[in-house]
C-alpha cells in the first residue's frame, strides 16, 4: 500500500489502491451516485488499472472520504470512473487531488494517442476541464442489463 501526505492539510492522505467493497458502496451512496451491486464491486475493483482513495485522519480514527479509479484495457482505452467525495469533505480540493493522481498515472502509463474518457454528471465537468478533458461530439449511451437480458434505463 502506497501512502502520500496531502500538502496543505495533514488530516488527509492518499492511498493508491482500490477501496474495499463496503467503502466503495458507501462512498457512491453518500456522493449521490447510482448504486452498484456488491457482486459487481467484488469483480470490478480488483480489475482497476489505477485507484486512489482519500483517507481522513480524524479524532475517531481513519475514514475513506473520497475515491477515484481508472479502468480499461491498459493500452488503447482508459476510462476515469467513481470520482466521489463525501459531501462533508467537499470544497477542500480533494476532487482535484484525486484527478491529479489519475492524470499523473495516465501520463506515466498510457501509450501515445490512447483514448481517455469519462462521463461527467452535473457540474463535475468543470473539475474535469481543469485536467484537459473536453466535451466530445459523440452521444454518450449506456445499457444496464438485468438477469433476463432486457434493457433497463435506470442503472
What does 79-148 look like in DSSP terms, one character per residue?
EEEEEEE-GGGTTSSHHHHHHHHHHHHHHHHSPTT-EEEE---GGGHHHHHTTT----SSPP---EE-TT
Do the Cβ atoms of 14 and 97 come closer than 8 Å?
yes
Q: For position 62, what pLDDT does the model report?
A: 93
Categorise residue 154: left if φ over 0, alpha if ψ from -120 to 50, beta otherwise.
alpha
pLDDT of residue 59: 82
- Paired strand residues for 56: 12, 63
Cα 25 from chain centroid?
A: 12
Residue with cell 470520482: 83
pLDDT band, residue 45 (cuts 50/70/90) = very high
Q: pLDDT-based confidence at 51, cuts 50/70/90?
A: very high
Please provide residue 30's backbone torsions phi and psi, each rounded to the nearest 5 degrees: -65, -30
How would residue 3 be classed by pLDDT, with cut points 50, 70 and 90? very low
Answer for the pair 22, 47: CB distance below 8 angstroms, yes or no. no
pTM for the model stands at 0.85
Segment holding 25, helix H or strand E? helix 21-30
Amino acid at each position: 500500500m502506497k501512502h502520500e501526505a496531502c500538502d496543505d492539510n495533514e488530516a488527509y492522505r492518499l492511498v493508491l489502491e482500490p477501496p474495499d467493497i463496503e467503502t466503495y458502496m458507501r462512498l457512491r451512496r453518500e456522493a449521490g451516485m447510482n448504486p452498484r451491486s456488491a457482486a459487481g464491486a467484488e469483480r470490478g475493483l480488483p480489475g482497476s488499472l489505477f485507484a486512489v482513495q482519500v483517507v481522513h485522519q480524524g479524532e475517531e480514527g481513519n475514514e475513506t472520504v473520497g475515491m477515484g479509479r481508472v479502468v480499461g484495457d491498459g493500452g488503447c482505452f482508459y476510462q476515469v470512473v467513481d470520482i466521489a467525495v463525501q459531501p462533508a469533505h467537499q470544497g477542500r480540493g480533494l476532487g482535484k487531488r484525486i484527478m491529479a493522481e489519475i492524470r499523473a498515472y495516465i501520463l506515466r502509463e498510457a501509450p501515445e494517442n490512447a483514448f481517455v474518457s469519462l462521463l461527467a454528471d452535473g457540474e463535475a465537468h468543470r473539475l474535469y476541464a481543469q485536467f484537459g478533458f473536453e466535451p466530445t461530439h459523440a452521444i454518450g449511451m449506456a445499457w444496464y442489463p438485468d438477469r433476463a437480458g432486457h434493457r433497463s434505463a435506470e442503472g
